[in-house]
Structures are given as structure tokens and as C-alpha cells.
Amino acid sequence: MEFKRGRFRLSLFCDTPEDTELQRKLDHEIRMREGACKLLAACSQREQALEATKSLLVCSSRILSYMGELQHRKEAQVLGRTARRPSDTGPPDERSPCRGTICISDIRIPLMWKDTEYFKNKGDLHRWAVFLLLQLGGNIQDTEMVLVDRTLTDISFQSSVLFTEAGPDFELRLELYGACVEEEGALAGAPRRLASKLSNSLGRSSGRRVRASLESAGGSGGSSAASPILLPTPAVGGPRYHLLAQTVLTLASVQDGFRTHDLTLTSNEESPAWLPLYGSVCCRLAAQPLCMTQPVMSGTLRVQSWGQVHGILKGTNLFCYRHPGEANAQEDPLFTIAINKETRVRAGERDQTLGAPLTLSISNQYGGDEVTHTLQMESRGALQRWMEALWQLFFDMSQWKQCCDELMKIEVPPPRKPPPALAKQGSLYHEMAIEPLDDIAAVTDILAKREGPPLDVPPHWLALFTEKLPTSKLPIHAPRSPSPPRACPGPRATPWGRPRTLSLDAAPRGRPPLPPRSSSSSSSGSGSPAPRQRSPPAQGFRAKARPWLQSPV
Amino acid sequence: MSYVPGQPVTAVVQRVEIHKLRQGENLILGFSIGGGIDQDPAQNPFSEDKTDKGIYVTRVSEGGPAEVAGLQIGDKIMQVNGWDMTMVTHDQARKRLTKRSEEVVRLLVTRQGLQKAVQQSMLA
């Protein structure tokens, strides 16, 4: 294959439409990354810095992935020109399975606190910011950042993530990254403290280099065979995310329901952002292959005893309508023939009354009987096309396996809202040094939890408590107590933070519980609560005053 | 549907998928719940076992999303979107159903007669 030098170069750099698209995406990510760096430099609050660092990391990882893809494509172009690839001359009926959409939603990662930590809730409340990075092929997406502390039993992510154009051999990599919300200096071991001291005293650029070298020396210990998706952070001096756990999900994990998968934990107790993960992740991984949602083939057929119909092959059914207009009008089909893994299709000459040889017969087993439909085509070309469509459908079904049994529902997630302006939840927490009396804390706990839909006007009964609480050293913050659950993105963080239980905190165990209160303490009295199970905070208080509660939802 | 503390609970359940309806600011499902581990189970008119502290459907509004999805009055809700509802307080249950970020809730519900219906269909 001869090429003039100039022309070879031209062909090497001649971009296909896919390449320009990729280049455009790469440029976009580079611009986003620059923006994130600037934002990070301008941040004053730790939470903002965490969000900016997260955007930065996601952009970096996307850049890495796009660059790798571009490189790969250029290589393939070069190889394609210099050597004939075996697949080009392969048999023409090499089938490729159809693409599909993968959706992962309702992700929940349980945590395993020591019960002394969880129930006593003493000492500084360490908080972590965590997020998930998901990669399928060249597509990288992230979830929102969630703040976690030891009052939570699980990390739950509300967002659902959608990947289009996935094949049945997909590998969805899930990586959990975490960072401490508090400044790392206090917690980290000596080398980091030294590094920050050095970096502060040596001046920005040299300090940065020192820190980067120390970090890269210490941080590479945890990587396993597959390197994490993230690029190393450019040492901009912001918070640092660490890889806490990862896993890979494939077609075998797809199910129209919730399933628990194992997580490979990659950090140990020495890592500054270590969280006690239980070791599993629970989520709903659904897949919708295109063959289930889009019509594969349609055309006019003649079916015995039904006459001429318009057939549409979609998913596991062949819908037959009287005319094409009916299908568009979304009316019920005249009849439906099931097409699934057990269906048998035969072409060719059959002895039947219509007399024409261009037929297709589809047989299904219903219970003990075999039902056969005979379809007659208009032309040999039509017969070929239908056969081809059916073989492709069967191939797709064999590749996508359980996804083709029934259509799994996938909701397109609404565009993610920008992270809400984080209220000063952290400082509210640390400034409250109160020793509440049992009843007041219990009642205000319930009131804070019962907040429900955000209240624009503080409810009238709150005035009762705003008068009481200042006496226990809380002047300004008390009226805001119902609102933090609204502003804070984390679930279930009460201002007081302690899930109060009457039975554990108040009376000694020996006292028999009163009947109205039995409902709260019997649940914990009947067996020592596992650290992950929560007893309700003094709800017996309410049960005493009210009949059996009913709530509309 | 009685249970022995410490032993696993088994039940024949039905999947119900409810798409919430938007009413102004709120997303509603169109039914009411009763019960919870903080409530008095003796007052539950729908439970077979009067010590059962689970979450029951006490009312289904006509033509609402729950009725359309097949939820019936008297159903006991076992799970919502993967979260357990057999050992929750009333308020926790209400909150799990009314999350503003979720437009669809997938419930697992059980009702009296489901077990029997399954057994009969297997024998037939």
C-alpha cells in the first residue's frame, strides 16, 4: 500500500465525524477543568472546596478517558491502513448484539459503626464527603456529593445514572471516593503534617512539588491490579479524595429489583478518609436493550384465519394490527404472537391452503399445547428481511439474557439540581454544647424529625421551645432547628444528632415499660439492637396521647 | 402474618409500582398508611395478628395513583424501593414513601389470601 508522504500524513490526521465529536468533548472537559481549578483556588469554605475538587476530579478522569480513546482510534487508523484486519474479510453474517440503556439507581452503601460510637455519639463528629464515580466504556458519570457522619447507617445516593449505547458485555465500574470535611492536618499522620508545614514555609511552587512527591510515595500503596479511574490531583492545595471502595458490575448483576453486590474495599484504617464500610452496595441495575423498546421490523403479512395484517416486531412480541395507522394511534393490536427464547421459527414450503410458498411459521408452547402461526410474505425479499430480523432478535435475546424476559422500567432522571447552598450545618453542630433534659431533647427531636415538607413559617408551637432553649445556652440557633433538614443534602441528620432511645438512655433496664411506651422500648428490649438497627427516638411519647395514627401519603 | 422474634419473616408478596401524581408542590400517592412500631397494634382493623406492628394501607383514594397501580385497602407494605417497612416507625414509613426526589415507588405488599391463592394455583 503506497502512500505519498504528504498524503499519508493527511489521512492519519483526517478526522472522522466521531473523532471531531470526541475532540469537542475533550475540549469541553479541558475548559471545565480550568474553571474548576479557578473555582477551587477561590474557595473559602471547605464544602465548596470539596464540590470543586470533585468536579475537578471528574473532569480529569473524563479527559484521561477521552485521550485514551483518541489515542486508541489513531492507532487503529494506522493499523487499519497498513495491515488488513482479519475481521474485515470475515464472514459477512458476524452478528453484533443491539445496544441498550443501563440505569443504576437507588444506590445505598451500608456502614458499620462500632456500637459504642453510634449510640454514645461522643466527641467530635467527624464528617466525610463521599461520591461515586461510575464508568461504562468511555462514559464517566458521577453522583452528587453526600455528607456522611456517624449518625447515618448507610450512604444513600438519590440520583440515578443512565448510560446509553452499552453492549451486553458491558462493565460498569463503580468507585467510591471520600474525603474528610475537616481539615486534614489534625488527623493525618506525621508525613502529611510535615508536608503541609514544608509546603507553607517553602513557598507555593516548591512546597507543591514536595507535597506532590510525598503524596505520590505514600498514596500508591493501595492500588490493586486495575488502576483507579482518577488522575492524581494536581497539588492545588485543596481537599483530597481517596478511593475507598470499588466494584465492577456486569450483565449478570442486572435485575429488575434491588440487589446487593460486594464491594472491594481499597483503603485501610491508616488512610485519612477511611470509613467503616460494611462491604456491600445495594442498588437497582436495570437494562433496556434497544430490541425491547424499538420496533425491529415491520411490514405487511398475511396470517391464516386473520387475513392481511400489519405486523410490528418489537421486544418479545409480534404485534399485528389491521393497518399501519392503528399502530400509530396506539390502539390495541388485533392479536399478538409471543416471540421469546422458546419460540421456534421455520421458513419455507408448508402444505397449506393459501397455496403460496413464501411462508414463515412461528411456534410457541403454551402449557402442553403447541400453537403455530403461519405468516405469508409478499415477496422473497420480504421473507429474507423478516428472517434476518428474527435471527437478529434471537441473537440479541441470547446476548442480553435476563433483560429480554420483560421490559425493565427506566426513568430518565431529571436534570440534577445544582448542589444547594450548604447551610452552616457543621458549625451549628459543634457550637451546641448542651446537656438536654430527657423530655425536652426528646420532644424537640421529634418535632425536628416531624418537620416533613419544608415550612416557610415556623410553626406556632416552636415559640414554646425558643423560650426554653436559650436558658440552655442556645440563643440564636434554636429557631433554625427545623430548617436544617431541608437545606442539608444528607438524609436524617437531626440537629441534635443522637437517635435518642428511652430504654437505653433513661431508666435502668429493670423497670417494666408502661404500655403506651412499650411500643418504643419493646423493639429494643426484645434483643440488643445491632449497631445498624435504629430504635425510634421516644415515639412512645406521642403514642400515649393519640389513637392509632393514620397518615395520607 | 404473625412472626416469631428472631426468626426470618416469609410472606407471599405482590409488586406494586406507583407513579406519584404531582399536585401543585407535592407528589402524592393517593393512599393512607397506619401502623408502625411506635403505634398500638391492637387498634389496627386490617391486621390478622393483633400484635403485628407493620405498615398497613388504611385508605385508597379513588382513581389515585395507588388504586391505578393495584394497591388495595388492608395491604401490608413490606418494602418500599428496597427499604424495609416491617420494623419502622410511623413517621419513618411516611418519609420513605414521600421522598420528593422519587417519582416512582416500588412496593412489595402482602395481603391475606395471597398465600392461599398461590397454593391453589400451584395445585391446579
Q: What is the pLDDT of residues A518-550, one digit of tens each?
A: 333 434 334 343 333 344 444 444 444 457 889
Pull the grid cell for residue A456: 416557610
**Contacts with B95 from chain A: Cβ below 8 Å:** 452
Q: Which chain B residues contact residue A542 at CB under 8 A?
A: 38
For residue A121, is pLDDT > 70?
A: no
How far is B113 from chain A, CA to nearest CA, in Å?
24
Task: With cut-offs at 50, 70 and 90, classify the pLDDT of residue A202.
Answer: low
In chain B, domain spans = 18-122
Q: How confident is the model at residue A441 (pLDDT cuts 50, 70, 90)?
A: low
Distance from CA of B116 to the nearest CA of A (A): 22
> Which region holds residue B36: left if phi is over 0, alpha if psi is between -120 and 50, else beta?
left
Q: What is the ipTM of this complex?
A: 0.88
Cα separation of A371 and A394, whole Å? 19
| Chain A residues within 8 A of B40 when measuring between CB atoms | 516, 519, 543, 547-548
Class of domain A294-404: mainly beta
Which stretch of A79-88, A140-149, A506-515, B19-28 has the lowest confidence by average pLDDT? A506-515
Residue A286 region by backbone torsions, left for phi larger than 0, else alpha for psi between -120 and 50, else beta: beta
CATH superfamily label, A98-182+237-289: C2 domain (2.60.40.150)
**Poorest-confidence range of A47-61, A237-251, A438-452, B23-37?**
A438-452
Query: Are B38 and A282 within 8 A, CB to CB?
Result: no
Average pLDDT over residues A35-50: 83
Distance in angstroms (rounded) separating the CA atoms of residues A414 and A418: 12
Question: DSSP for A117-171?
Answer: IIII--S----EEEEEEEEETTEEEE---EEE-TT-SEEEE---EEEEEE-TT--
Question: Are A185 and A193 in contact, with CB atoms under 8 Å apart?
Answer: yes
A345-383 pLDDT, tens digit each: 887 655 444 545 677 888 887 777 788 888 888 888 888
A526 to chain B, closest Cα gap in Å:
8
Predicted pLDDT of residue A78: 86
pLDDT above 90 covers a percentage of chain A that reads: 4
**C-beta of residue A496 within 8 angstroms of C-beta of residue A425:** no
- Does B19 reach chain A within 8 Å, measured CB to CB? no
- The DSSP result for A62-81, as a single string, is HHHHHHHHHHHHHHHHHHHH
pLDDT at site A192: 52
d(CA A99, CA A291): 8
Residue B108: its pLDDT value, please? 94
Q: What sign does the CA torsion over B93, B98, B101, B105 have? A: positive
Give residue-wise pLDDT tens across range A398-435.
888 888 888 888 877 666 555 444 443 333 344 344 44
- Residue A107: CB atoms within 10 A of its CB come to 23
Q: Where are the alpha helices (DSSP H) in A422-487?
A: 425-431, 438-449, 462-468, 484-487
Q: How far apart are CA A303 and CA A340, in angstroms?
A: 19
A449 CB neighbours in chain B (<8 A) are 91
Residue B119 pLDDT grade (very low, low, confident, very high; cuts 50, 70, 90): confident
pLDDT given at position A74: 86
Express each pLDDT in A475-505 by its tens digit: 444 444 444 434 333 344 444 444 444 434 3
Answer yes or no: are the C-beta atoms of A73 and A65 closer than 8 Å: no
Looking at this protein, which amino acid is placed at residue B75? Answer: D
pLDDT at A258: 86
> How far from A135 is each of A140, A176, A248, A490, CA to CA, in Å?
4, 12, 9, 24
User: Range with the lowest mean pLDDT among A108-122, A300-314, B33-47?
Assistant: A108-122
Q: How confident is the model at residue A436 (pLDDT cuts 50, 70, 90)?
A: very low
CB within 8 Å of chain B, chain A residues 27-46: none
Q: Please give the pLDDT value at position A256.
A: 83
Distance CA A324, CA A319 (A): 11
In the predicted model, is pLDDT for residue A328 greater than 80? no
Q: Give the pLDDT band (50/70/90) at residue B20.
A: very high
- Residues of chain A with Cβ-Cβ distance to B57 below 8 Å are none
Q: How far is B112 from chain A (nearest CA, A)?
A: 21
CATH class of B18-122: mainly beta
Q: Where exactly are the structural domains of chain A?
A: 15-68, 98-182+237-289, 294-404
Read off the amino acid at residue A249: L
* Cβ B18 vs Cβ B28: under 8 Å: no
Q: Is A367 on the interface with B (CB under 8 A)?
A: no
Q: What is the rounded distance in angstroms from the CA atom of residue A55 to the CA atom of residue A273?
A: 18
Least confident span in A43-52, A512-521, B34-43: A512-521
Bridge partner list, A308: A302
CB pair distance less than 8 Å for A551 and B32: yes
For chain A, give the mean pLDDT. Answer: 69
Distances (CA, A) of A529 to A116, A522, A524, A534, B6: 12, 11, 6, 7, 12
